[in-house]
Structure formats: C-alpha cells, structure tokens
Amino acid sequence: MLFFFLHTSVGLVAGAFFRVQTLVMLALLVLVEVVYVEASRGPSVALWALGAEALLQCGYFGGVCARDMLERSGLALRTPGVATGISGQQSRSD
C-alpha cells in the first residue's frame, strides 16, 4: 500500500511544480523499477509495478489540476518554468 501512496504522491508533487519533462524522467525510472522487479520477483509482481506507473501519471495530472485551480483562485502565482495548467496559457503581467 505504501508503494502506491509514494508513486501517487510523487506524481502530485511533480504535476504541481514541474513541467512534463519531469514526468517523462519519472516514468523512465518507474520503467527501470518494473524491469528490476520482474527480474527479481517474477512477472506477477511486475504487474503491480505497472499499476504504480499508472498511479504516477494520474497523480501528475491531479497535481497539474491542483496547480491550475490555485493559480486561478489567486492563491498561487504563475511562475516561468512551472507547469502551466490545463489551459496551457501563460498569464501576462501588464
């Protein structure tokens, strides 16, 4: 259970604060983890690790949504180099 909580939490943090390149890097790390788990414990356990990949991506999407809601409500400022949210639009400061 802790395994899934950690992957979802990492996805939430990455989605809220980092761009999609971070998700790709984390997804590659989880893929390496899946290969290692399959080699050491067998294919049935590797399926659980693939579930963690899906949770990582769902967590990332949740983090992007949370960041977008915080920015729209005025509780967080848009900063360059951070996830732009669902709309993908950068705000201008005039």
Q: Are 46 and 3 in contact (CB under 8 A)?
A: no
**Per-residue pLDDT tens for 10-67?**
888 888 777 777 778 888 888 888 788 788 887 777 777 778 888 888 888 888 888 8
> What is the C-alpha to C-alpha distance for residues 76 and 69, in angstroms, rounded to an integer?
9
CA distance to 24, 29, 55, per residue, from 51 (Å): 16, 14, 6
**Per-residue pLDDT tens for 67-78?**
888 888 877 776
Q: Which of 12, 34, 33 is nearest to 83 (CA)?
A: 12
